A and B are shown apart, each in its own frame.
Chain A
């Protein structure tokens, strides 16, 4: 008797491989998505190998090289490929180390928001009634504030810093996951396979996490990639406003904040950190678009 729900909730290995194969097949057709994937992989490699790749230490100040322009411009040297900032630090090295922060922020924020949102959404959708009403009103309250403003105020309460910025952003992004999970759970809850598992004696937790959840994953994965890029943007914005990572951390948004006063004198100090943010966010969004198209059966054939 207990073998039946097991079969229902856990497809044999062959089927799973086939599903992943199909996903990859559709994903591969989207050229932008594949480029996004490669750029993201490259960024992960850069982040992991930062000490090997960076020509200088990200915090080393060269007293003889303040605001040196990039190597191809007059006055630049190959010693500092992308130039140096106002206190003589190598911009390329700081960017390479900065990739660690951005990817780390994205990963941590999405993990917190995803896990929190899934649990809250599952509980709301599964139990319904007043539990659902209360939870969803709380989510509405969070969504009533512009996300960056709420994150900014939360960081003001918790104190400026990278960790608090990540907590604040995760809290602000989490209602989207809760809403998606809840909607999916409510659509699935009365389907036959769920009733069958229930009749077979599956407990509540098992029903929620093993029977229903795997069938709601597609929209959550798409939202996860979009939130990843949102998290990077918001964290950079908080850093730019002086409420995120604090100097001398080579976080890209914080680098931009430090560079602001030199904007009309040294374009490279401002241009490169922002370009790094844009490329990272763009790559992840391209990937997210590809995933959405590959996972959404309605658009597959159009």
Chain B
């Protein structure tokens, strides 16, 4: 098992180096002089320009600059935001919990509905439940989620006035940040209604972000179940008189879960892309909105750092999924 883990880790090294080259290269290929960009509208004296050029290392050859970039990276230094002047890593870590909270809620919702729906659709193949749920899954899969979010806002925030339009919690509440997760912090604060407010703010973004993963998981579960239920061992289990419930729940489901777990893991990239749109629509103060804002503010160090960190998160989650996959399916460990 340790060899399996080490092998996977080693495999990631070139990919991660490639990611750093993309993030490093992104700023270099931008039109315009980085120092002049930093100086802003007012301009800069030639002496100060030379000084900044040397200070930032832009007078060095490009490979040297890249190595310096890598060196700082491994010390956790991703540079400073041009707008807020605070370290990019710090900004990322401050906003990251908001995105994680949203993503966890979304993937939980998608899994808790998607797997039972997929199993039921497969077991009752051809029934009205199968047809309606798979029709809904196809619509969800085809959904432009930025529009879906706007529709939900019109209905639930506009017409029914049930949920707030934006943010993470009502301004009425203020309490210190402990974990960064609003659901937990609001409970810890002990203030009346704080938790309810956090939940109300979270519902619509969660539904929007969960839509596509839910559809994908339901479809994948159904097809994996159908495939497994045609296998010999399922027929054997039925033939020896095991109850149908047990055949489906134990023999079929456990084997069908192998591709489904991979699918759920692969949704993390989908979630990060979805977070960009969802957070923009609901003004959710997370990484996705921060990236979009940084791109529009031309805050290149922030974009560079964000790009790198998001890719690192996606790679780390994919690695964990790979390892889990090896755990539930011992066969692939030896390939």
Contacts and interface: CB of A to CB of B under 8 A. Distances in A.
A108 interface: no
A170 interface: no
A146 B15 contact: no
Interface residues of B, number: 43
Interface in B141-155: 141-144, 146-148, 150-151, 153-154
A177 interface: no
B14 interface: yes
A93 interface: no
Contacts of B153: 263-264
A286 interface: yes
A213 B34 CA distance: 46
Nearest to B146: A240
Contacts, number: 120
Contacts of B270: 146
B142 A229 contact: yes
B15 A141 contact: yes
A289 to B, nearest CB: 7
A156 interface: yes
A286 B138 contact: yes
B138 A285 contact: yes
B273 interface: yes
Contacts of A256: 146-147, 150
Which size bracket describes the interface of A in this complex?
Answer: 35 or more
Given A267-B154, A270-B147, A278-B147, A289 B138 contact: yes
B73 interface: no
Q: Identify whether the interface residues of A are mostly helix, strand, loop, or mixed.
A: helix
B15 A149 contact: no
A137 B273 CA distance: 22
Interface stretch (B89-97, B240-248, B310-318): B310-318
A140 interface: yes
Interface in B242-262: none
Interface in A14-59: 32
Nearest to A155: B295
Contacts of A233: 142, 144
Q: Identify whether the interface residues of B are mostly helix, strand, loop, or mixed.
A: helix
A209 to B, nearest CB: 29
A153 B306 CA distance: 11
Interface string B280-322: 1000000000011001100000010001001100110000000
Contacts of A286: 138
A236 B144 contact: yes
A285 B138 CA distance: 8
Contacts of A236: 144, 146
A204 interface: no
Given A141-B21, A146-B273, A278-B142, 17 more contacts: A140-B18, A144-B19, A144-B311, A146-B276, A149-B291, A153-B295, A153-B307, A240-B277, A241-B277, A241-B280, A253-B146, A260-B150, A271-B151, A271-B154, A273-B147, A274-B144, A282-B139
Name the 7 nearest CB pairs between A and B, nearest first: A274-B147, A141-B18, A148-B273, A146-B273, A146-B272, A281-B142, A282-B142
